[in-house]
Amino acid sequence: MGQLISNNGRVSIQGVSLVKSGHAILNEITLDLSTPRIGFVGRNGSGKSTLARVVCGLIKPDQGRVLVDDIDIFKNRRKALSKIGILFQNPDHQIIFPTVLEEMSFGLTQQGYSKDAVRQMVAEALAQFGKAAWSNRSISTLSQGQRHLVCLMSVLAMQPAVIVLDEPFTGLDRPITRQLTQILEDIDQTILHISHDLDALCTYDRVIWLERGTVQMDGAPQAVLPAYSAAMDAIGGQDVFADITG
């Protein structure tokens, strides 16, 4: 599979805070994310998924702002669509159209491309993945892994500078996980990867550990992952923040 685009992006999170139902989900987070591969770890309720959605413009914070390549994602939504994309844990939470062509066309149409240009771009993306025959295929006939691939192709077709992965491989078998992981390793975009699988992040440039909506530790995976693992072992895996959404 060849690269769809060579485009490395930068995300600047500036003083982002968010409160839900009286709980501080994110607490004045400031991060400059510019290295190619950045992992995020933390217990359920630490704010990882909420931060991912804020970074992608899906949730507006109570204070602070997010810039992707100097574009404020909440002030210029159309331009932001060309800069950042997200893959969710469950592809059925992301897919909204009945066929592969319609699904892959949606984001490109939102970016302002003409109908003919969109069809051509989708065809090229499908061919690049060896899935040209999928164009008119019904999403309902695809396996979970194939739906994940449709979501990934949809995001890559939009040529974003940054891709956010929110536990996208949970529940997939090892062969499918390896295939999708290899695709992501071969692309040039900046990747922000939320995962409970510490092994998946061990070769990354940087890992950020979130705890109670704040940055607990930020550095090389060789330092952060053992510290996080030891902390989780010390509490016996108790999820003391399970009542907090995030």
- Indicate whether 246 belongs to any domain: no
Which residue's structure tokens are 């992006």? 9
Q: Evaluate whether 163 touches 85 at the Cβ level (below 8 Å).
A: yes
Q: Distance between CA atoms of 158 and 111, rounded to whole angstroms?
A: 8
Q: Evaluate whether 33 touches 12 at the Cβ level (below 8 Å).
A: yes
Identify the pLDDT of residue 217: 97
- Indicate whether 239 belongs to any domain: no
Identify the pLDDT of residue 168: 81
239 versus 39: the higher-pLDDT residue is 39
Q: Is 13's pLDDT higher than 90?
A: yes
- Indicate whether 64 belongs to any domain: yes
pLDDT cut 90: percent of the chain above it:
63
- Indicate whether 236 belongs to any domain: no
- Indicate whether 242 belongs to any domain: no
Q: Which tens digits make up the pLDDT trace of 191-246?
A: 999 999 999 999 999 999 999 999 999 999 999 999 999 999 887 645 444 443 45
Identify the pLDDT of residue 243: 40
Q: What is the CATH number of the domain that holds 100?
A: 3.40.50.300
Pull the structure tokens for residue 91: 């592809």
Q: Evaluate whether 61 touches 221 at the Cβ level (below 8 Å).
A: no
Q: Evaluate whether 200 touches 193 at the Cβ level (below 8 Å).
A: yes
- Indicate whether 75 belongs to any domain: yes
Q: Distance between CA atoms of 167 and 89, rounded to whole angstroms?
A: 5
Q: Which of helix, strand or coil describes residue 186?
A: helix
Q: Who contacts 132 (Cβ-Cβ below 8 Å, separation ≥6)?
A: 123, 126
Identify the pLDDT of residue 237: 47
The residue-averaged pLDDT of 95-103 equals 96
Q: Which tens digits make up the pLDDT trace of 169-191?
A: 777 778 878 888 888 888 889 99
Q: Which tens digits make up the pLDDT trace of 49-92?
A: 999 999 999 999 999 999 999 999 998 877 887 899 999 888 89
**Total domain count, the chain:** 1
- Indicate whether 180 belongs to any domain: yes
Q: Which structural domain range is residue 37 located in? A: 11-228
pTM of the model: 0.86
Pull the structure tokens for residue 142: 């695809």
Q: Distance between CA atoms of 228 and 116, rounded to whole angstroms?
A: 49
- Indicate whether 3 belongs to any domain: no
